[in-house]
């Protein structure tokens, strides 16, 4: 009967924990016992080389002893017996030590047969030497070697080792009794062998007990790893779903608020709209922080490295914080050599610097915040320095923990949720950047990171933007969410665009005419057989559209980033700031031929 493939029993972690307290009798449950027998058989097979070398060496040594010390009329028989047993042992070792091919039960039976035959062979030679009265003292010491190998070398289960060992001892003592050996010899031999067997049996019990404990620990580790992988996959699915589903209504809210802001003229109503806009942006920032820390903790973010000039990049980063700093009476300065460039992920690095700056503006109680750029060997050090209240050594250890805010006991939401510096720590580990913090109470703080430097290159001149100019162009929107579709259409019409909307890719393919579109905006997840990228590629392949394409989506997967880069599609994440959306659309409509 050919054994089937070895199948591990299903992992049941509570059952494994229960077994951990109940194997003193060297028994598991039926399903677990089968797995342990396979495990023990594998351990036995792992030592076959040592067992075979020891067995063959000792057998050949005893053949030499027989040839040297026993008379010819006797050693011709003893040597023949030893060689015959050696042949049997070699065959059984080959048969028993084939993990996955021989069932453990048969393998252990073959190993115990070889073991017992070896013991009986030694017994027979001792007895024959006594009967022949050869004048050479032949003792039972050779049995100790056989018993020692059976208890500790072969790796047999405890019951098999004990059964085989006691069989050998009983047969030897019975043979001594049958040939009429003196009672003193029987008593002394029996005392030594019985004591040796008792010690060996205890050792075999301890060995198997340890093997069962090791097997349980391995299975528990496998179960824990499987559980961690399931939880990680579940968390990843949750993050993907939560990110997509929560970003959709926020995107529509941002666009409708922008529409209200452009239509409302009453001062009191405009103030209400502004408060509504601020609350929406705060909610968006909180959502982004929570999703970012979760995505970083499960390894969903991978750096996308590129080379970029530092001075204009930092100017853009600081421009987004100037309004917030002015409201608090804080002056922000930039100290950066003009010809500085780095090789990094611009989005992740921007998140790092923004979070350091937000911490200085919101929590440091500073009046001056400065971004300094200096060269340190082959790296560029970016420092965010403030003249605020500073921190003690104990506070410096706490600030990188999640949801920690030192100067916000009331937990007011306008100061965030306490995840900014925790995200910085995760990003620095991800990017593997040297970093540090220098601070003391009353002396401000200096957060710094070191980024790989790169060669500076001349920036291409950018088109001048007019943020309040009306947009002129024909825009097609493909969006299956009707609320988001309506919000996008309303805002774009208010900005001056001619807009046509489709809900499915099939509608777009059937109705779009070549040369009639200046810009195409699509969601990524669409109803039907095509997603947003596949739809744009289909339109390009049919010659219906070859202009700029913008993918506005709530899907934040790294695979999507790479796919849009390879297909020359601009990517924006929902909820998108209306000012950024307008600026990008203005660029596309002003330079359609550059795409």
Q: pLDDT of 336-353, one tens digit each?
A: 998 889 999 888 888 888
Rounded to 5, what percent of the chain is helix, strand, coil? Answer: 60, 10, 30
The pLDDT of residue 520 is 93
Confidence of residue 235 (pLDDT cuts 50, 70, 90): low
DSSP assignment letter at 343 = E
Kindly state the average pLDDT of the residues 196-205.
90
CA quadruple 558, 564, 569, 574: dihedral sign: negative
pLDDT, tens digit (0-9, with 9 covering 90-100), for 10-45 = 556 666 666 666 566 777 777 788 888 888 888 888
What residues contact 183, with CB distance under 8 A and at least 6 apart? none
Per-residue model confidence as pLDDT tens digits over 355-384: 888 888 887 888 899 999 999 888 999 999
Give mean pLDDT, residues 385-399: 82
CB 310 within 8 A of CB 373: yes
Residue 138 is encoded by which pair of tokens?
A: 């032949």
The confidence score (pLDDT) of residue 182 equals 85
The listed range with the strongest mean pLDDT (98-107, 235-244, 421-430) is 98-107
Q: Read off the pLDDT of residues 463-501 as tens digits, 9 standing for 90 and up.
A: 555 556 788 889 999 998 888 889 888 989 988 899 999
- Average pLDDT over every residue of 273-283: 73
How far is residue 220's CA from residue 168's CA, in Å, rounded to a whole number? 39
Does residue 537 contact residue 567 with C-beta atoms inside 8 Å?
yes
Position 461 confidence tier, pLDDT thresholds 50, 70, 90: low
Query: From CA 20, how far away is CA 14, in angstroms rounded?
Result: 10
Interval 106-111 mean pLDDT: 90
565 vs 404: which has the higher pLDDT = 565
Q: How far apart are the C-alpha atoms of 382 and 372, rounded to whole Å?
A: 6
Q: Which pLDDT band holds residue 528 (cuts at 50, 70, 90)?
A: confident
pTM greater than 0.75 (yes/no): no
In angstroms, the CA 575 to CA 279 distance is 14
Tell me how long the chain is: 595
Q: Find the helix or strand (DSSP H, E) in which 547 lies.
A: none
Helix (H, G, I), strand (E, B) or coil at 577: coil
Is the predicted pLDDT of residue 79 greater than 60, yes or no? yes
pLDDT at 402 over 60: no
Name the band, by pLDDT with cuts 50, 70 and 90, for residue 512.
confident
Can you tell me the mean pLDDT for 131-147?
A: 73
Structural domains for the chain: 13-227 (no CATH), 306-452 (3.30.565.10), 474-594 (3.40.50.2300)
The C-alpha atoms of residue 163 and residue 210 are separated, in whole angstroms, by: 20
């Amino acid at each position: 009967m050919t054994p089937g493939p070895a199948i591990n029993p299903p992992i049941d972690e509570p059952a494994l924990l229960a077994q951990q307290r109940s194997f003193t009798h060297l028994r598991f449950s039926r399903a677990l016992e089968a797995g342990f027998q396979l495990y023990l058989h594998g351990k036995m097979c792992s030592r076959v080389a040592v067992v075979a070398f020891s067995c063959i060496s000792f057998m050949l040594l005893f053949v030499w002893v027989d040839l040297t010390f026993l008379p010819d009329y006797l050693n011709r028989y003893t040597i023949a017996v030893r060689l015959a047993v050696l042949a049997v042992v070699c065959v059984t070792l080959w048969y028993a030590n084939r993990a996955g091919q021989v069932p453990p039960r048969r393998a252990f039976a073959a190993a115990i047969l070889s073991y017992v035959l070896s013991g009986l062979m030694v017994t027979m030679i001792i007895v024959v030497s006594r009967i022949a009265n050869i004048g050479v003292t032949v003792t039972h010491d050779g049995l100790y070697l056989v018993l020692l190998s059976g208890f500790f070398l072969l790796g047999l289960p405890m019951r098999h080792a004990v059964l085989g060992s006691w069989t050998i001892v009983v047969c030897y003592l019975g043979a001594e009794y049958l040939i009429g050996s003196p009672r003193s010899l029987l008593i002394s031999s029996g005392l030594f062998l019985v004591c040796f067997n008792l010690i060996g049996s205890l050792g075999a019990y301890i060995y198997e007990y340890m093997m069962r404990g090791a097997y349980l620990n391995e299975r528990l580790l496998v179960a824990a790893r499987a559980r961690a992988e399931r939880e990680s996959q579940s968390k990843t699915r949750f993050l993907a779903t939560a990110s997509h589903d929560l970003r959709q209504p926020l995107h529509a809210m941002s666009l409708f608020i922008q529409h209200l802001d452009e239509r409302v003229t009453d001062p009191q109503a405009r103030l209400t709209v502004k408060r509504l806009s601020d609350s929406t942006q705060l909610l968006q920032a909180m959502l982004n922080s929570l999703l970012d820390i979760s995505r970083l903790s499960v390894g969903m973010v991978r750096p996308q490295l590129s080379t970029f000039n530092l001075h204009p990049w930092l100017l853009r980063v600081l421009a987004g914080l100037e309004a917030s700093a002015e409201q608090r009476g804080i002056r922000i300065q930039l100290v950066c050599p003009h010809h500085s460039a780095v090789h990094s992920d611009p989005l992740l690095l921007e998140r790092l610097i923004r979070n350091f700056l937000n911490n200085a503006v919101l929590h440091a109680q500073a009046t001056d915040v400065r971004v300094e750029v200096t060269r340190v060997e082959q790296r560029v050090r970016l420092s965010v320095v403030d003249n605020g209240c500073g921190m003690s050594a104990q506070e410096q250890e706490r600030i990188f923990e999640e949801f920690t805010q030192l100067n916000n006991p009331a937990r007011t939401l306008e100061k965030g949720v306490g995840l900014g510096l925790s995200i910085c720590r995760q990003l620095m580990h991800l990017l593997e950047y040297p970093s540090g913090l220098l601070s003391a109470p009353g002396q401000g703080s200096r957060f710094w990171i070191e980024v790989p430097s790169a060669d500076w290159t001349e920036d291409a001149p950018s088109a001048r933007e007019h943020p309040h100019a009306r947009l002129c162009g024909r825009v097609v929107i493909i969006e299956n969410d009707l609320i988001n579709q309506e919000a996008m259409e309303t805002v774009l019409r208010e900005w001056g665009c001619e807009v046509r909307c489709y809900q499915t890719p099939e509608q777009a393919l059937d109705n779009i005419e070549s040369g009639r579109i200046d810009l195409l905006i699509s969601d990524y997840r669409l109803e039907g057989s095509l997603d947003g990228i596949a739809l744009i590629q289909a339109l390009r392949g049919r010659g219906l559209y070859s202009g700029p394409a913008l993918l506005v989506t709530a899907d934040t997967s790294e695979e999507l980033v790479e796919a849009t880069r390879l297909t020359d599609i601009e990517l924006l994440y929902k909820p998108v700031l209306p000012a950024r959306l307008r600026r990008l659309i203005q660029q596309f409509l002003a330079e359609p031929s550059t795409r």
